[in-house]
């Protein structure tokens, strides 16, 4: 559950919103929407305790029961599977404890760490991780690849998978759909529906929100307003609210006008002075209803430089890829002035590789890439947002770009992209995702490119900015190469499609709907191939000794058994030592008891002797109960080893 009580949040001196009182209950899936920079991610920071509220309170589960998607994935040597599994906090903690226990050399501690790990059932966690990864589009072989070998988009998927692994009471997803294709989106939506925890999703993808949430929280007019229902329901209610507000405003205006007229007419007439006075009071009391503020439509445009070569880029027999890994081969294509090319291809097909080769960010392995004279490329890609220096301000970046330009011109240019006032002197590191993307667009527009090369430009952009980009691209007169999963954008801005598929790049004759079918077919073939591979692996396993992986598995099991046996041996020795001690102490206690309960001894003994014997009895009895406790603990540790042994068989 998540509860906000009269909360207010600010960044610096700027109050993002206040008087926020909202509750999201268990199992409720909530969309958090609002324009770029309105403070959605900041709310997550506040829930996670990274940012304090100005006023009010947040009631949220303890930090370890909150799962959220890390904004960036560290360079790590872990394999994808290990990285994702590490998201299961209890398992990760149990593993760390086991390592620490081993290092400490304390057998008991190690045994109980093993028992705790066994309880968590690592095998089950692993299969859950593989299910989530498959759902997010990873193939079986990806699981063993190192995280650092994945592209930015795929790393983001890994961090989403990692967050989904965590058993939590609250799941915070900040733009989870940015890097997902259609299939993975559908899978994610189904997965979220199965969860019993509270889920808050920030997204600018209305189709996804429509299917995935039951409640919408909208950041508007300096507060956050709750709407029951999904995004469409929010839109309807919000339009209805505006309609009512407009009607109420009109009725207010009419009433106020009437009262004013009455007051004007009778104010100075002695006979009507009393009535006029009462009208003045009524007018004062009349609640002001503001008119609906018309949404200002924000627009910008790309103006290409005057000189444009006829042939912008010519690729001949290009082979491109990374080190030994060839991604695309035999690519020949010409980009001409006025071309508007949408690049299609499933994830990992090599769309970004093609694009990088065209813009010159990647050298071809063989073949030639010729660029026309006077070609100016406007290149937009995810990693460019990340390569902006966080310590710079938007104005710094512009100054560096155009050192000879008057500062006012630079300020005016940034102003056109909604960077006004002191905003242009904010550090880039503090800009929201959408603000950074808008800045990248501002930089591109400044260059007056005659070829725009945009790789997933709509990620992070709010709906109004997406709309502005769509309009700007439709009226752009230069050439355009666009990679996007936003079908609406491709449809409205491209007139040619190119398909990157199985290492080839070719013109695509079909339309976008044909392409969607192709994606689904491809997905089916991949799944079928994986099923076949799994089947033949299983068959190989059933034939003893015939498979290396089976041998390897046996070897590992034997190793594990040996480790458990080695651990058990000292525990058994300890147990037998304790048992002997327990027998000795029991005998001692029984002997002393017999003495104490003998009336003859009692009568004859000196009082000091009685005191000594009772003290000895007490000490022996407490040593016995201590030994019994140790016996219990050691037996449990041995049982844990036994159950591990059983699991290995």
Ligand X SMILES: Nc1ncnc2c1ncn2[C@@H]1O[C@H](COP(=O)(O)OP(=O)(O)OP(=O)(O)O)[C@@H](O)[C@H]1O
Pick the binder of ligand X from 184, 432, 458, 634 (CB under 6 A).
Answer: 432
Q: How far is the CB of 45 from Mg ion (least distance, A)?
A: 10
Q: Which is nearer to ligand X, 430 or 475 (CB)?
A: 430
> CA 371, 436, 409: angle at the middle one, nearest 5?
75
Stretch that binds ligand X, among 35-43, 184-192, 384-392, 535-543 (CB under 6 A): 35-43
Q: How far is the CB of 538 from Mg ion (least distance, A)?
A: 45
Q: Are strands 377-380 and 451-455 parallel, antiparallel or unpaired?
A: parallel
Contact between 465 and Mg ion (CB under 5 A)? no
Determine if residue 50 is left, alpha or beta; phi over 0 gives left, psi from -120 to 50 gives alpha, anything else beta: alpha
State how far the alpha carbon of 166 is from the alpha carbons of 67, 197, 318, in Å. Answer: 6, 11, 44
Torsion, CA 622, CA 624, CA 629, CA 632, rounded to 10:
-170
Which of the 8 DSSP states describes residue 292?
Answer: P
What's the half-sphere exposure (Cβ side, CA atoms, 13 Å) at 201?
Answer: 30
Q: Which is nearer to ligand X, 391 or 543 (CB)?
A: 391
What does 431 interact with, of ligand X, Mg ion, none (CB < 5 to 8 A by kind)? ligand X
* CA 142 – CA 643 distance, rounded (Å): 32
Task: Give me the long-range contacts of 641-649 (CB less than 8 A, separation at least 24).
Answer: 641/111, 641/114, 641/564, 641/567, 641/568, 641/571, 642/568, 643/115, 643/118, 644/114, 644/118, 644/560, 644/564, 645/561, 645/564, 645/565, 647/118, 648/557, 648/560, 648/561, 648/564
Q: In 357-439, where do the E strands start and end?
A: 366-371, 377-380
- What are 79's strand-pairing partners? 146
Q: How far is the CB of 390 from Mg ion (least distance, A)?
A: 15
What does 20 interact with, of Mg ion, ligand X, none (CB < 5 to 8 A by kind)? none
How many CB atoms sit inside 10 A of residue 333's CB? 17
Number of chain residues interacting with ligand X (CB under 6 A): 20
Pick the binder of ligand X from 320, 431, 481, 494 (CB under 6 A).
Answer: 431
Pick the binder of ligand X from 17, 20, 24, 42 (CB under 6 A).
Answer: 42
Stretch that binds Mg ion, among 38-46, 191-199, 350-358, 386-394 (CB under 5 A): 38-46
Pick the binder of ligand X from 87, 364, 434, 478 (CB under 6 A).
Answer: 434
Contact between 433 and Mg ion (CB under 5 A)? yes
Local structure of 456: helix, strand or coil: coil
Pick the binder of ligand X from 303, 317, 332, 430 (CB under 6 A).
Answer: 430
Q: How far is the CB of 462 from ligand X (least distance, A)?
A: 6
Nearest in space to 9 (alpha carbons), one of 52, 58, 60:
52
Stretch that binds ligand X, among 11-19, 147-155, 181-189, 612-620 (CB under 6 A): 11-19
Q: Residues 110, 567: contact at Cβ < 8 Å?
A: yes
Contact between 41 and ligand X (CB under 6 A)? yes
How many CB atoms sit inside 10 A of residue 467's CB? 16
Contacts (CB under 6 A) with ligand X, residues 219-238: none
Pick the binder of Mg ion from 30, 37, 41, 180 (CB under 5 A).
Answer: 41
Contact between 12 and ligand X (CB under 6 A)? yes
User: Nearest to ligand X by Cβ — which residue?
Assistant: 434
What does 403 interact with, of Mg ion, ligand X, none (CB < 5 to 8 A by kind)? none
Contact between 416 and ligand X (CB under 6 A)? no
Stretch that binds ligand X, among 181-189, 304-312, 315-323, 429-437 (CB under 6 A): 429-437
Q: Which is nearer to ligand X, 165 or 428 (CB)?
A: 428
Contact between 126 and ligand X (CB under 6 A)? no
Cβ neighbours for 58, distance < 8 A, ≥ 6 positions apart: 2, 3, 4, 5, 7, 46, 47
Q: Which is nearer to ligand X, 10 or 282 (CB)?
A: 10
Contact between 147 and ligand X (CB under 6 A)? no
How many CB atoms sit inside 10 A of residue 502's CB? 12
Which of the 8 DSSP states describes residue 110?
Answer: H
Positions that interact with Mg ion (CB under 5 A): 41, 432-433
Positions that interact with ligand X (CB under 6 A): 11-12, 16, 34, 36-42, 426, 430-435, 460, 462
């Amino acid at each position: 559950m998540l509860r906000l009580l009269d909360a207010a949040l600010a960044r610096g001196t700027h109050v993002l919103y206040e008087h926020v009182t909202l509750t999201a209950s268990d199992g409720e899936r909530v969309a958090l929407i609002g324009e770029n920079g309105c403070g959605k991610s900041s709310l997550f920071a506040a829930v996670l305790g990274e940012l304090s509220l100005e006023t009010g309170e947040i009631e949220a589960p303890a930090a370890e029961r909150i799962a959220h998607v890390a904004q960036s994935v560290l360079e790590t040597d872990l394999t994808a599977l290990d990285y994702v599994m590490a998201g299961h906090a209890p398992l990760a903690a149990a593993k760390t404890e086991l390592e620490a226990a081993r290092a400490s050399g304390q057998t008991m501690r190690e045994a109980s760490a093993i028992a705790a790990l066994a309880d968590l059932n690592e095998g089950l966690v692993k299969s859950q991780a593989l299910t989530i990864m498959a759902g997010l589009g990873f193939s079986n072989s990806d699981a063993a690849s190192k995280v650092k070998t994945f592209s930015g988009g795929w790393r983001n998927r890994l961090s989403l998978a990692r967050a989904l692994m965590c058993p939590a009471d609250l799941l915070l997803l900040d733009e989870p759909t940015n890097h997902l294709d259609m299939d993975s989106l559908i899978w994610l939506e189904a997965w979220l529906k199965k969860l019993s925890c509270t889920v808050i999703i920030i997204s600018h993808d209305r189709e996804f929100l429509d299917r995935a949430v039951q409640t919408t929280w909208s950041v508007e007019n300096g507060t956050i307003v709750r709407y029951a229902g999904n995004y469409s329901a929010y839109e309807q209610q919000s339009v209805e609210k505006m309609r009512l507000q407009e009607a109420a405003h009109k009725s207010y205006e009419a009433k106020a006008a009437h009262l004013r007229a009455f007051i004007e007419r009778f104010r100075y007439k002695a006979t009507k002075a009393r009535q006029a006075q009462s009208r003045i009071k009524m007018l004062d009391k009349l609640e002001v209803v503001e008119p609906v503020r018309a949404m200002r439509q924000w627009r910008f445009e790309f103006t290409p430089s005057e000189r444009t070569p006829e042939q912008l880029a010519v690729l001949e027999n290009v082979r491109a890829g990374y080190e030994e890994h060839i991604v695309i081969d035999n690519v020949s294509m010409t980009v001409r002035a006025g071309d508007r090319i949408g690049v299609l291809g499933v994830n990992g097909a090599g769309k970004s590789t093609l694009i990088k080769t065209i813009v010159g960010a990647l050298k071809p392995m063989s073949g030639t890439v010729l660029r026309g004279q006077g070609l100016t490329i406007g290149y937009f890609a995810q990693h460019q947002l990340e390569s902006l220096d966080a310590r710079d301000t938007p104005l710094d970046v512009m100054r560096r770009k155009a050192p000879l330009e008057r500062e006012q011109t630079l300020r005016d240019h940034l102003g056109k992209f909604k960077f006004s006032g002191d905003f242009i002197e904010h550090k880039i590191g503090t800009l929201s995702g959408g603000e950074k993307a808008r800045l990248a667009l501002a930089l591109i527009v400044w260059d007056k490119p005659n070829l725009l090369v945009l790789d997933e430009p709509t990620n992070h952009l709010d709906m109004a900015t997406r709309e502005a980009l769509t309009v700007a691209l439709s009226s752009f007169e230069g050439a355009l190469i666009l990679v996007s999963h936003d079908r609406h954008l491709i449809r409205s801005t491209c007139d040619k499609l190119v398909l990157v598929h199985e290492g080839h790049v070719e013109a695509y004759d079909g339309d976008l709907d044909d392409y969607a079918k192709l994606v689904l077919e491809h997905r089916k073939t991949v799944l079928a191939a994986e099923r076949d591979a799994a089947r033949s692996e299983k068959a190989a396993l059933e034939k003893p000794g015939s498979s290396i992986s089976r041998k390897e598995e046996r070897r590992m099991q034997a190793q594990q058994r040996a480790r458990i046996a080695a651990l058990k041996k000292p525990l058994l020795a300890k147990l037998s030592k304790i048992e002997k001690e327990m027998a000795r102490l029991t005998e001692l206690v029984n002997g002393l008891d017999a003495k104490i309960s003998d009336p003859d001894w009692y009568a004859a003994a000196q009082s000091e002797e009685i005191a000594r014997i009772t003290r000895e009895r007490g000490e022996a009895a407490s040593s016995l109960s201590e030994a019994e406790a140790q016996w219990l603990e050691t037996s449990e540790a041995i049982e844990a080893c036994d159950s591990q042994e059983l699991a290995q068989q």
